Structure 1
Amino acid sequence: MNIKRVFGAVLTILGIVGLIYTGSQVINKSEGYTTLMVVGIIGLIFFFSGIGLVKNTKDEA
């Protein structure tokens, strides 16, 4: 298994966790808006970079 694909999968999972955390805190009407914005933006960056890394890495068997 390619190390880039594993790293991409880890980034994608971290991004999903960050987005779920942000969404749950927004629904619960948390007061830390700046923290939620930072976590949400970092989650989006991790998610899309992980998806791009998995998508663009070719399998070499």
Structure 2
Amino acid sequence: MAISLSVVLLLGIVLVVLMKSGALRAGPAVTAVLFGFFLASTGMAPSIQRFLDSLANSINGIQF
């Protein structure tokens, strides 16, 4: 849960920065948010979540 909340926060910040810089207009931003919202309610959501969890675990396992 902490990882997904962090990802949502990070993506929200990136979205705001892109909109403020003019690189992303409000229309495409709303479309992207709605796409993500509706994608989360499809059958692909568990597969995407497993992929993101495994990616986060892999990044967490990297030692410097």
Q: TM-score range by the shorter chain?
A: 0.3 to 0.5
**TM-score after normalising by structure 1:** 0.42
**Higher relative contact order (Cα pairs below 8 Å, separated by 6+ residues):** 1
